[in-house]
Structure 1
Amino acid sequence: MGNAAELDSINRDKLVPLVRTALGTDTLEIIDWQLVPIHGGGGLGTTIYRVVGTGRDGGKDVDWSIILKIIHAAGEDEEPCDWNHCKREALIYASGMLDDLPAGLSAPRCLGAEDPSLDCSWLWLEDIPHTSKQPWSLSDYATVARQLGRFNGAYLVGEQPLPAYPWLSKEWLRGWTEKSAPAIALFPGILEYPLIRRCFPTSGMADAYLRIWDERADFLHALERLPQVLCHRDAFRRNLFLRPDYTDTDRLVAIDWAFAGPGAVGEELVPLVLAGIAFFEVEPSIMGDLEQVAFEAYVEGLRDAGWQGDPRIVRLGYAASAALRYGPGCAVPALAFLTDPAAQHIASQLFGVTAEEAADRVSLMFTHVLDLADEARQLMDVLPQTASR
């Protein structure tokens, strides 16, 4: 059933209990409503709407809004623990896991859930008030990174046990990376495409990119031997909200928990830095400053939680995860964009840049990722607990 047919089922009887729960009242009556599509960082098969309307409660007019997230199976997962399992976020909410998160991070309340079909889930969520849509400052990024550190740190020191639900992602980064195998196989034969050459201007850069793929087992082995924490795993600007008028310890709200599961310390920080580059929310010129500020704040957050370990362990988790996730792990979308004029047109419409400008940005991101891969190799050599097999 397509979204249009699904949305026809939304009526006043369905909305009233959801909106009453959102507003904490038993007496509100809905007058009208409309569905507004939201553009976000959602994955394939995900559609998000803000449902906005007016109502009457106690003789007063009331404005209200809630979020509807419709998730369809992407057709590529087989097990609940696979990297992109379509039901994971609904299962996470149903378990109550998000009601007892450590200090540093919270999630929107789930107002209701439905399963219209075996391959589709609906989530009705609280609409989070947040600060303006203006770009975050480096200070904002530091605040967010420190909160992510506090969140992860609670699992390092045993304040919170790692959840063991069978539907949490397992070896997420391995699954994310291995899905790129077909694209990587094509890579040597398409190096002369104009935008590919623009993105990889030297044969040495292309070789270094493929080297990460060839050494992926070493990177994954090192990450699996690091201390493990619960990761949201998609914590970047589009999925994070800084609520006004809240204290630092409960100000940060994360949406989109579809990738959540155990991961290496430091892994959580990767999308905060690099997804902002990929989604044109951070200028590449400040990437180095952003990474330094965010990493230092993340370690401070771990310290706040009571962890006193070697920060080089955290740096390895960050660098090795970044090398895989935003190196070969991005091969499918990157190569599709760099070789397909239709994809280039869509990207130009979304981000307001030319295909050449987008390719230059991807090239800068890959250059940084290659440097992080080298840093990870050096750290693997000096940290004995991560030595390659």
Structure 2
Amino acid sequence: MISDTNGLLDAVRRQLDDQTAQILSLDSKGYEDGFADAVTGGEGVNRHSGIARTSSGEVEFKLVAKTCAEFSQGASQRSWLYWKREPLAYDSGLLDALFGLAAPRCFGVTFPDRATAVIYMEAVENDQTSWDFETYERAGRALGRFNGHNLNNPSAHRNWMAPSRAICWVNEARSTLDTLMDLKGDPVVSRWLRGALLERTFALWSDADVLLEAMRELPSCLCHHDAFRRNLMMQPDDRQEEAVVAIDWAFVGPGVVGEELAATVGVSLQFMEVEPEDTRRLEQSVFSGYLMGLRDAAWKGSEADARLGFVASTSLMLGLGALGPWLPLLRDPDFEPIVEKIVGVPKDRFIDRISELQGYFLDLGEEAVSSIRGIPDI
């Protein structure tokens, strides 16, 4: 028999619903680390499988253990990188019964010491690894149901939740954006904001307060805040509202209607999940599904509010705010292999991709400003 390690045996017993179960054999395999692990000090995700002896005989088990560790930037609850947020989200029971989305079932959260937490959860299989635009629409609908069910619901909010990711990133990027026109000679900035993109980005920055004020007036809702392609697992349709399982709840917190799609559309594009020439088709598929999901959740609000939440938050987070977390990392030669590991392409190719998308993110911001000011489309 294998002795317990940081609560693994208890987690296996909960999964098998047998408090007498003993682990006879164990195989552990690490997953590839993602962006959050790279910048937040996470110690990785491991898949544990094996044989356990139960009261009804020997049975197979498999589950996932995610280890989160404290680090300086994520020490504060108000940080979007707060290291303890996902363990607390699972431990609180908040993720046990969601509408629209499902989270992996949790089999226990342990805190081996004051600076470490381990989440034991269901090993979710992704039944649809290749996504077409109908799949993106289905994902958008699930997110609309999730957001719509949690609209203007203060009881769903906790003090350890993340503030709006768009607002956090803009605040992190403020000093860079204030001096953006002085950075023309910066090798990363000149490649990212090439040609007219630099001046357009600075012009949108001058209107950032208009966007931020408009977002404060939109209906609030609980958001995953990182619901892009890699964090959404498609399950068989017969699971109905639980057909989409979302993993990685490290950024969960309040946002506004439409804000959830900033990651679903924008980050999926940045991380090479969809080609730039299909940007508008992706947007249309996700947004139309999102509106259906909001209606499924009995939302009576206007499509214009959802659209404004999407375009304002996407432009703030990715057209402006992305300079906050990404610019220091892309300047750092030591981070180059991590970028390639996360995105799957060399650093320079990733910079080229976000440069290709910058015009789209600025278009969304300009659309938002025009909408707020009542300027008709030409």
Range moving further from structure 2, 114-123 or 290-299? 114-123
Q: How do 1:38-77 and structure 2 match up within 5 A?
A: 38-39=31-32, 40-43=34-37, 44-46=40-42, 47-57=44-54, 61-77=58-74
Distance 1:162 1:197, change over 3 A: same
Counterpart of 1:201 in structure 2 is 194
Question: Aligned residue for 2:134?
Answer: 139
Q: CA deviation at 1:58?
A: 5.9
CA distance in 2, matches of 1:146, 1:197: 38
| Cα separation, 2, equivalents of 1:352 and 1:188 | 31
1:174 aligns with 2:163: no
Does 2:79 match 1:86? no
User: How has the CA–CA distance of structure 1 residues 231 and 10 changed in structure 2, closer, same or farther, with 3 Å as cutoff?
Assistant: farther
Q: CA deviation at 1:187?
A: 4.1
CA offset at residue 131 of structure 1? Answer: 1.0
Change over 3 Å in CA distance of 1:77–1:298 after alignment to 2: same
- Aligned position for 1:32: 25
Equivalent residue number for residue 280 of structure 2: 288
Quote how far apart the aligned CAs of 1:356 are: 3.8
Separation in 2 of the partners of 1:89 and 1:346? 22
| CA shift digits 1:113-169 (9 cap, x unpaired) | 12223232221112123314x33111111111001111111234x7x6652422223
Seen in structure 2, the aligned counterparts of structure 1 residues 253 and 348 have a Cα distance that, compared at 3 Å, is closer
CA separation of 1:60 and 1:125: change in aligned 2, threshold 3 A: same
Deviates more, 1:17-26 or 1:253-262: 17-26
2:108 counterpart of 1:108: no
Select which of 288, 303, 306 maps to 2:295: 303
How far 1:41 moved relative to its partner?
4.2
Superposition deviation, residue 212 in structure 1? 3.2
Name the CA shift for 1:16/1:253 in 2 (closer, same or farther; >3 Å).
same
Aligned pairs for 1:1-389 (under 5 A) are 11=4, 14-39=7-32, 40-43=34-37, 44-46=40-42, 47-57=44-54, 61-77=58-74, 79-101=76-98, 103-132=99-128, 134-156=129-151, 162-184=155-177, 187-202=180-195, 204-244=196-236, 246-336=238-328, 338-382=330-374
Residues 146, 324 of structure 1: CA spacing in aligned structure 2 closer, same or farther, 3 A cutoff?
Answer: same
Q: Where does the alignment leave 5 or more consecutive residues of structure 2 unmatched? A: none
CA distance in 2, matches of 1:91, 1:70: 13
Contact 1:312 1:379 in 2 (8 A): no
Match of 1:76, SS state, is: helix
Find the residue that maps to 1:371 and give its secondary structure: helix
Q: Tell me which residue corresponds to 1:387.
A: none
- Would the alpha carbon gap of residues 262 and 125 (structure 1) be closer, same or farther in structure 2, given more than 3 Å must change? same
185-194 or 305-314: bigger deviation: 185-194
Q: Would the alpha carbon gap of residues 78 and 247 (structure 1) be closer, same or farther in structure 2, given more than 3 Å must change?
A: closer
- Does the CA contact (< 8 Å) of 1:183 and 1:335 recur in 2? no
1:216-269 CA-partner distances (Å, limit 9, x unpaired): 322111111001111111111222111236333111111222222221100011
| Distance in 1 between residues matched to 2:49 and 2:310, nearest whole Å | 39
C-alpha distance in structure 2 between counterparts of 1:356 and 1:168, whole Å: 34
Q: What secondary structure does 1:267 align onto? A: coil
- Taking structure 2 as the reference length, the TM-score comes to 0.88
Q: Please report how far the alpha carbon of residue 184 of structure 1 lies from its aligned counterpart in structure 2 after TM superposition.
A: 3.6
Bigger shift: residues 60-69 or 261-270:
60-69
| Contact 1:336–1:343 (CA under 8 A) maintained in structure 2 | no
8 Å Cα contact 1:82/1:172 also seen in 2: no
Shift, 1:60, TM fit: 5.5
How many residues of Structure 1 are paired with residues of Structure 2 in the alignment?
Answer: 370
Code of the residue aligned with 1:181 in structure 2: it is R
Deviation at 1:286, TM superposition (A): 1.4
Deviates more, 1:72-81 or 1:259-268: 72-81
Q: Which amino acid aligns with 2:316?
A: L
Stretch of structure 1 that moved more, 292-301 or 45-54 = 45-54
CA RMSD of aligned residues (A): 2.6
Asked whether the equivalents of residues 65 and 118 of structure 2 are also in contact (C-alpha less than 8 Å), the reply is yes
Checking the alignment, whether the CA contact within 8 Å between 2:91 and 2:108 is kept in structure 1 is no
Bigger mean CA deviation after superposition, 182-191 or 275-284:
182-191
How big is each residue's C-alpha offset from its partner over 1:301-340, in whole Å with a ceiling of 9 and x where there is no partner? Answer: 1111222322111110000100111122211343235534
Q: Which whole-Å CA distance do the structure 2 matches of 1:124 and 1:349 have between them?
A: 25
Alpha-carbon distance in structure 1 between the residues aligned to 2:118 and 2:280: 39
Match of 1:52, SS? Answer: strand
CA offset at residue 171 of structure 1? 4.6
Deviation at 1:59, TM superposition (A): 6.9
Give, in whole Å, the separation in 2 of the partners of 1:192 and 1:262. Answer: 38
Identity percentage of aligned residues? 33
Contact 2:150 2:156 in 1 (8 A): no
Q: What residue identity is the alignment partner of 1:80?
A: Q
CA shift in 2, pair 1:60/1:251, >3 Å: same
CA distance in 2, matches of 1:20, 1:373: 51
Q: Distance in 2 between matches of 1:82 and 1:343?
A: 22
- Matching residue of 1:3: none
Judging changes above 3 Å, is the alpha-carbon distance between structure 1 residues 260 and 347 closer, same or farther for their aligned structure 2 residues? closer
